[in-house]
Amino acid sequence: MEELFYNKLKEILSEDQIKLDEPMELHTSLHIGGKADYFVMPGSIDEIREIIKLCRQYKLPYYVIGNGSNLLVADGGFRGLIIKLGESFSAVKVKENGLITAQAGVLLSKLASIAAEHGLTGLEFASGIPGSLGGAVTMNAGAYDGEMKQCLLRARLLDEEGNILEYDTEQLQLGYRKSILQTLPYIVLEADIQLAPGDKEQIRQKMNTLNRLRREKQPLDKFSAGSTFKRPEGYYAGKLIADAGLKGYQVGDAAVSEKHCGFIINKEHATARDFLTVMEDVARIVYEKFGVRLEPEVKMLGDFSRDE
Q: Which residues form the catalytic set?
A: 177, 227, 297
187-194 and 196-197 as β-strands: parallel, antiparallel, unpaired?
Answer: unpaired
- Residue 99, beta-bridge partner list: 194
Name residue 18's beta-bridge partners.
40
Give the up-direction half-sphere exposure of residue 186: CA atoms within 13 A in the CB hemisphere.
Answer: 24
List the one residue out of 76, 139, 72 whose CA is nearest residue 277: 72
Instruction: Tell me which residue of 117, 108, 116, 111 sits closest to 135, measured CA to CA.
Output: 108
| Cβ-based neighbours of 218, under 8 Å, separated by 6 or more | 259, 260, 263
